[in-house]
Amino acid sequence: MRMLRFFFRKRIAEELQREIDEHIELERDLNLERGLNQEEAVRQARIKFGSRQRVREEIWTSNSMMLFEKLRRDLSYAVRTLLRSPGYTILAVITLALGIGANTAIFTVINGVLLRPLPYSDPGRIMHLEQTAIRVGRDRIGFSVQEVQDYRQQAQSFSDLAEYHSMTFTLLGAKVPERVVTGVISANYFDVLGIKPVLGRLIHPSDEKLNAPPVLVLSYAYWVKEFGADPKILGKPFIMKRSGAHRDWSFASFAGVPRCQRCLHAHHIVSFPL
Q: Which positions lie near other proteins, rule CB under 8 A?
A: 1-2, 5, 15-16, 18-20, 22-23, 25-27, 29, 48-52, 54-55, 58-59, 62
* For other proteins, the closer CB: 58 or 74: 58
Q: Name the residue nearer to other proteins (CB basis): 24 or 181.
A: 24
Residue (46 or 204) nearer to other proteins, CB: 46
Give whichever of 29 and 150 is closer to other proteins, judged by the CB atom. Answer: 29
Q: How far is the CB of 14 from other proteins (least distance, A)?
A: 12
CB of 6 vs other proteins, minimal distance in Å: 11
CB 179 within 8 A of CB 242: no
For residue 58, which of 26, 16, 22, 25 has the smallest C-alpha distance? 16
Give dist(CA 218, CA 162) in Å, integer: 18
Closest approach of other proteins to the CB of residue 7, in Å: 14
- Shortest CB 12 distance to other proteins, Å: 8
Closest approach of other proteins to the CB of residue 37, in Å: 19
